[in-house]
Amino acid sequence: MSIKGRPNSLDIAMRAGVSQATVSRALRGSPLVNKATREKIEQIAREVGYKVDKSASNLRTQRSNTLALLLFEDPTDDQSLINPFFLSLLASITRATAAVEQDLLVSFQQLSDDWQADYENTHKADGLILLGYGDYVAYRSKLERLTAGGAHFVRWGAARADQPGLAIGCDNIGGGCDVTAHLISQGCERIAFIGEASSRYPEFNDRYRGYRKALEAAGLSVDPNLQIDAISTERSGLEATRELIQRGASFDAVFGASDLIAIGAIQALFDAGMSVPAEVAVAGFDDIPMAQYCRPTLTTLRQDTMGAGKVLVDSLLRLIAGETVESHTIPGQLIVRASCGAGKS
């Protein structure tokens, strides 16, 4: 209003006949302010479209009220193909962030070497949310640099004693177990696991542990020949499955450590003239949107992305507030579709 473009708190104060300090207090919901005074101020602010200037407020309070979302993924050939699972997570994090009146800075650079950009962001945000199926070992040193600088962060992934920081993740062990048990219930006995089961990929590793657990519970043996490394892309899943076929090992099911891997596996099986699920059952993990559109539709473990976003944001905020926060696991849900031949047993 007045001559300048946007009104400031002093403009509101003059209109309301109070001091600028009172305007600030009223609009922050301070209990000190008289109710009538507050209402008058709020009304005037609404009328003239006044909004507290974030830069000034942030400067004064030394808080940015901003969270940053960083993605770490192995770089892929197909430039922009960010794992759809993380995009779902993005949607729910966006919502959860808005619900607590924080801003969200998004850096989906997918350039693992462009760490500088991420580093910059850590200076703009009060805390970080880290997403990724990327090589965690490679990422870790970078993370430690941040932690040394006192950055607050939560990571979506597997909570492990040997990993720094707070992790919120799906129950990967339980999920891996559920998927495998389902395949076994369909009559499968020689189930391949496609995905790198090492400390570099803690989530895949946990899914693999669940897989072993289910096999052992059913009295089936764990054949190391039936596990092949892959990262979370369709191409990697395809190539790994091709290698599995070339090995000549016999198998009647494939458990892809992620849906993208499983979709690649279906392609490889199809290319090799094997039918899914008649000859080989296939299951994945994540329940990305594609899982219900690919043919055959994909049996998978649905991660609770909505719940995840909320827990990630809430945990981070409590961490920033100086509370002690524990790593936490969110249960998933088995979604049975055509690829594992439900009813075939």
Partner DNA sequence: CTGAAAGCGCTTACAG
Which positions from 231 to 260 touch DNA by CB under 7 A, shown as an x/- string? Answer: ------------------------------
Do 133 and 201 form a contact (C-beta atoms < 8 A)?
yes
- Residue 321 binds DNA (CB under 7 A): no
Q: Report d(CA 253, CA 55) in Å as an integer.
A: 56
Rounded to a whole number of angstroms, the minimum distance from the CB of residue 306 to its own copies is 7
Q: Which one of its own copies, DNA, none is in contact with 141 (Cβ closer than 5 to 8 A by kind)? A: none
Residue 104, interface with its own copies (CB under 8 A)? yes
- Non-local (6+) Cβ contacts of 67 within 8 A are 97, 102, 103, 104, 105, 125, 126, 127, 128, 129, 313, 316
Query: Is 9 one of the binding residues for DNA (CB under 7 A)?
Result: yes
187/183 Cα distance (integer angstroms): 7
Question: Which parts of 136-175 interact with its own copies (CB under 8 A)?
Answer: 149-150
Does residue 129 touch its own copies according to CB under 8 A?
A: no
Instruction: State the DSSP string of 313-325.
Output: HHHHHHHHTT---
CA distances from 4 to 19, 51, 58 (A): 20, 14, 22
Q: Is 57 an interacting residue with respect to DNA (CB under 7 A)? A: yes
Interacting span for DNA (CB under 7 A) from 58-66, 124-132, 254-262, 319-327: 58-66
| Contacted by 37, from its own copies, DNA, none: CB < 5 to 8 Å by type | DNA
Q: Which is nearer to DNA, 20 or 198 (CB)?
A: 20
Choice from 88, 163, 232, 241 touching its own copies (CB under 8 A):
88
Separation CA 189–CA 134 (nearest Å): 31
Binding part of the chain for its own copies, among 36-44, 55-63, 275-283, 336-344 by CB under 8 A, reads: 55-63
The answer to whether residues 262 and 233 touch, using CB atoms and an 8 Å cutoff, is no
Binders of its own copies among residues 232 to 251 (CB under 8 A) are 234
Q: Which of 22, 24, 92, 112 binds its own copies (CB under 8 A)?
A: 92
Phi, psi of 12 (to 5 degrees): -65, -40
Q: How far apart are CA 60 and CA 107, in angstroms?
A: 26
d(CA 166, CA 171) in angstroms, rounded, equals: 15
Q: Whole-angstrom Cα distance, residue 43 to residue 45?
A: 5
Nearer to its own copies, 95 or 200 (CB): 95
Identified binder of its own copies from the candidate list 184, 257, 290, 319, rule CB under 8 A: 290
* CA–CA distances in Å: residue 236 to residues 230, 245, 268, 285: 5, 14, 11, 15
Instruction: By CB under 8 A, name the binding residues for its own copies.
Output: 5, 49, 51, 53-56, 58-59, 64, 79-82, 84, 87-88, 90-92, 94-95, 98, 103-110, 117, 120, 123-124, 149-150, 234, 263, 289-290, 293-295, 305-306
